[in-house]
Amino acid sequence: MRHGAGALPVALLLLIALQLQTAAAPLVTLMGLKPQFVAALVVSLSVLSGPLAGATWGFVGGLALDLLSGVPLGVSSFALTMMGTIWGHVAAGLKSTGWLVLALAAFPALVAYDTLVALWLQGLGWPLSLGFSLVHVALPGAMLSTLPVPFNYYILRWLEERSRRFEVRSWD
Protein backbone atom coordinates (compact mmCIF):
# COMPACT_ATOMS: atom_id res chain seq x y z
CA MET A 1 0.00 0.00 0.00
CA ARG A 2 1.21 3.51 -0.82
CA HIS A 3 1.44 6.21 1.77
CA GLY A 4 -1.46 8.31 0.40
CA ALA A 5 -1.81 12.05 -0.19
CA GLY A 6 -3.29 12.86 3.23
CA ALA A 7 -6.95 13.21 4.14
CA LEU A 8 -7.18 17.00 4.17
CA PRO A 9 -5.68 17.68 0.71
CA VAL A 10 -7.77 14.86 -0.77
CA ALA A 11 -10.92 16.24 0.88
CA LEU A 12 -10.11 19.66 -0.60
CA LEU A 13 -9.53 18.16 -4.05
CA LEU A 14 -12.83 16.30 -3.74
CA LEU A 15 -14.62 19.53 -2.85
CA ILE A 16 -13.09 21.26 -5.88
CA ALA A 17 -14.04 18.32 -8.14
CA LEU A 18 -17.58 18.38 -6.76
CA GLN A 19 -17.97 22.10 -7.35
CA LEU A 20 -16.47 21.84 -10.84
CA GLN A 21 -18.97 19.10 -11.63
CA THR A 22 -22.03 20.89 -10.29
CA ALA A 23 -21.24 24.49 -11.23
CA ALA A 24 -18.80 24.54 -14.14
CA ALA A 25 -19.18 21.19 -15.94
CA PRO A 26 -22.72 21.91 -17.24
CA LEU A 27 -21.24 24.90 -19.08
CA VAL A 28 -18.56 22.86 -20.86
CA THR A 29 -20.67 19.98 -22.14
CA LEU A 30 -19.75 17.94 -25.19
CA MET A 31 -22.77 16.49 -27.03
CA GLY A 32 -24.81 17.28 -23.91
CA LEU A 33 -22.44 15.29 -21.67
CA LYS A 34 -20.52 16.60 -18.68
CA PRO A 35 -17.13 15.36 -17.47
CA GLN A 36 -17.38 13.34 -14.24
CA PHE A 37 -14.70 15.07 -12.17
CA VAL A 38 -15.51 13.22 -8.91
CA ALA A 39 -15.41 9.77 -10.51
CA ALA A 40 -12.15 10.71 -12.25
CA LEU A 41 -10.64 11.72 -8.90
CA VAL A 42 -11.77 8.48 -7.22
CA VAL A 43 -10.18 6.43 -10.04
CA SER A 44 -6.90 8.35 -9.64
CA LEU A 45 -7.02 7.86 -5.86
CA SER A 46 -7.63 4.14 -6.09
CA VAL A 47 -4.77 3.75 -8.60
CA LEU A 48 -2.37 5.74 -6.39
CA SER A 49 -3.39 4.66 -2.88
CA GLY A 50 -5.11 1.30 -3.29
CA PRO A 51 -8.54 -0.19 -2.60
CA LEU A 52 -8.98 1.10 0.97
CA ALA A 53 -8.62 4.72 -0.11
CA GLY A 54 -10.61 3.99 -3.28
CA ALA A 55 -13.55 2.59 -1.28
CA THR A 56 -13.50 5.33 1.38
CA TRP A 57 -13.24 8.30 -0.99
CA GLY A 58 -15.61 6.64 -3.44
CA PHE A 59 -18.21 6.42 -0.69
CA VAL A 60 -17.68 10.02 0.49
CA GLY A 61 -17.67 11.44 -3.05
CA GLY A 62 -20.67 9.36 -4.03
CA LEU A 63 -22.72 10.52 -1.06
CA ALA A 64 -21.92 14.14 -1.89
CA LEU A 65 -22.95 13.56 -5.52
CA ASP A 66 -26.19 11.91 -4.39
CA LEU A 67 -27.05 14.92 -2.25
CA LEU A 68 -26.46 17.38 -5.08
CA SER A 69 -28.09 15.31 -7.81
CA GLY A 70 -31.54 13.89 -8.27
CA VAL A 71 -30.55 10.25 -7.91
CA PRO A 72 -31.72 8.40 -4.77
CA LEU A 73 -29.30 8.75 -1.86
CA GLY A 74 -26.91 5.80 -1.98
CA VAL A 75 -26.83 5.13 -5.74
CA SER A 76 -23.67 7.11 -6.62
CA SER A 77 -22.00 6.13 -3.33
CA PHE A 78 -22.63 2.43 -4.14
CA ALA A 79 -21.25 2.78 -7.67
CA LEU A 80 -18.17 4.80 -6.65
CA THR A 81 -17.36 2.56 -3.64
CA MET A 82 -17.54 -0.49 -5.88
CA MET A 83 -15.44 1.19 -8.56
CA GLY A 84 -12.86 2.48 -6.05
CA THR A 85 -12.42 -0.96 -4.46
CA ILE A 86 -12.19 -2.96 -7.67
CA TRP A 87 -9.88 -0.50 -9.45
CA GLY A 88 -7.71 -0.24 -6.35
CA HIS A 89 -7.07 -3.99 -6.62
CA VAL A 90 -6.70 -3.92 -10.41
CA ALA A 91 -4.23 -1.00 -10.25
CA ALA A 92 -2.02 -2.90 -7.79
CA GLY A 93 -1.03 -5.05 -10.77
CA LEU A 94 -0.14 -2.10 -13.03
CA LYS A 95 3.53 -2.14 -14.03
CA SER A 96 3.59 1.45 -15.24
CA THR A 97 1.74 4.65 -14.34
CA GLY A 98 2.40 6.62 -17.51
CA TRP A 99 -0.44 8.88 -18.63
CA LEU A 100 -1.56 6.49 -21.38
CA VAL A 101 -1.69 3.51 -18.99
CA LEU A 102 -3.65 5.62 -16.48
CA ALA A 103 -6.12 6.74 -19.14
CA LEU A 104 -6.54 3.18 -20.44
CA ALA A 105 -7.10 1.89 -16.90
CA ALA A 106 -9.53 4.69 -16.04
CA PHE A 107 -11.74 4.37 -19.11
CA PRO A 108 -13.40 1.01 -18.26
CA ALA A 109 -13.76 2.13 -14.62
CA LEU A 110 -15.66 5.24 -15.68
CA VAL A 111 -17.86 3.27 -18.10
CA ALA A 112 -18.59 0.81 -15.28
CA TYR A 113 -19.52 3.67 -12.93
CA ASP A 114 -22.12 5.22 -15.26
CA THR A 115 -23.47 1.77 -16.17
CA LEU A 116 -23.85 0.83 -12.49
CA VAL A 117 -25.76 4.06 -11.78
CA ALA A 118 -28.00 3.45 -14.81
CA LEU A 119 -28.59 -0.16 -13.68
CA TRP A 120 -29.61 0.99 -10.19
CA LEU A 121 -31.92 3.66 -11.56
CA GLN A 122 -33.53 1.21 -13.96
CA GLY A 123 -33.95 -1.28 -11.13
CA LEU A 124 -35.62 1.39 -9.02
CA GLY A 125 -38.15 2.06 -11.75
CA TRP A 126 -36.68 5.08 -13.54
CA PRO A 127 -37.55 5.03 -17.24
CA LEU A 128 -33.95 4.66 -18.49
CA SER A 129 -32.86 2.56 -21.42
CA LEU A 130 -29.74 0.63 -20.46
CA GLY A 131 -28.56 0.27 -24.07
CA PHE A 132 -29.04 3.99 -24.74
CA SER A 133 -27.31 4.86 -21.45
CA LEU A 134 -24.31 2.69 -22.34
CA VAL A 135 -23.91 3.86 -25.95
CA HIS A 136 -24.92 7.52 -25.62
CA VAL A 137 -23.95 8.35 -22.05
CA ALA A 138 -21.49 5.92 -20.43
CA LEU A 139 -19.05 5.45 -23.37
CA PRO A 140 -18.76 9.08 -24.60
CA GLY A 141 -19.03 10.38 -21.01
CA ALA A 142 -16.14 8.13 -19.93
CA MET A 143 -13.98 9.43 -22.80
CA LEU A 144 -14.56 12.98 -21.55
CA SER A 145 -14.05 12.03 -17.89
CA THR A 146 -10.80 10.16 -18.65
CA LEU A 147 -9.10 13.44 -19.59
CA PRO A 148 -8.60 14.74 -16.02
CA VAL A 149 -7.42 11.34 -14.65
CA PRO A 150 -3.67 11.62 -15.43
CA PHE A 151 -3.73 15.25 -14.26
CA ASN A 152 -5.43 14.20 -10.96
CA TYR A 153 -2.98 11.35 -10.54
CA TYR A 154 0.11 13.55 -10.83
CA ILE A 155 -1.34 16.14 -8.41
CA LEU A 156 -2.12 13.38 -5.89
CA ARG A 157 1.35 11.88 -6.30
CA TRP A 158 2.93 15.28 -5.76
CA LEU A 159 0.82 15.76 -2.61
CA GLU A 160 1.82 12.30 -1.41
CA GLU A 161 5.53 13.05 -1.86
CA ARG A 162 5.17 16.38 -0.08
CA SER A 163 3.34 14.85 2.88
CA ARG A 164 5.95 12.06 3.13
CA ARG A 165 8.82 14.59 3.09
CA PHE A 166 7.02 16.61 5.77
CA GLU A 167 6.68 13.51 7.97
CA VAL A 168 10.34 12.58 7.58
CA ARG A 169 11.37 16.14 8.50
CA SER A 170 9.14 16.16 11.58
CA TRP A 171 10.81 12.90 12.73
CA ASP A 172 14.22 14.62 12.49
Partner 1 sequence: MVGLRNRSYYLALVLLGISVLSIALHQSGHLRPVEGFLLQFSTPVAEVTSLLTYRVLEVGRAFQELGSLRDENQRLRQENAELRAKVIAAQEAQIENQALREQLGFKEANPVFDTLPAQIISRDPSNLLDFLIINKGAADGVKDGMVAVSPQGLLGRVILTGSNSAKVLLVTSPSSSVSAVVQSSRAVGMVYGQQGGRLTMRYIPQGEAIAVGDVVITSGLGGAFPKGLVIGKVVKVRQSDVELFQEAEIAPPVNVGRLETLALIRNFAPARLE
Mapped onto helix, strand or coil, the DSSP state of residue 29 is coil
Candidates 93, 95, 100, 127; binder of partner 1 (CB under 8 A) is 127
Could you count the other beta carbons within 10 Å of the beta carbon of residue 3? Answer: 12
Strand partners, 33: 30
Site string for partner 1, 17-56 (x = CB under 8 A): -xx-xxxxxxx-x-xxxx-x-x-----------xxx-xxx
Closest distance to partner 1 from the beta carbon of 78 (Å): 4
Candidates 4, 141, 148, 150; binder of partner 1 (CB under 8 A) is 141
Residue from 101, 9, 99, 87 nearest 49 by CA: 87
Q: Which is nearer to partner 1, 38 or 156 (CB)?
A: 38
Q: Which is nearer to partner 1, 72 or 98 (CB)?
A: 72
3-state secondary structure 99-151: HHHHHHHHHHHHHHHHHHHHHHHHHCCCCCCHHHHHHHHHHHHHHHHHCHHHH
Q: Which is nearer to partner 1, 58 or 150 (CB)?
A: 58
Residues within window 73-112 making contact with partner 1, judged by CB under 8 A: 73-78, 81-82, 84-85, 88-89
Q: For residue 71, give Cα distances in angstroms to 63, 67, 127.
A: 10, 8, 13
Residues near partner 1 (CB under 8 A) = 1, 18-19, 21-27, 29, 31-34, 36, 38, 50-52, 54-56, 58-59, 62, 65-78, 81-82, 84-85, 88-89, 114, 117-118, 120-121, 124, 126-129, 132-133, 136-137, 141
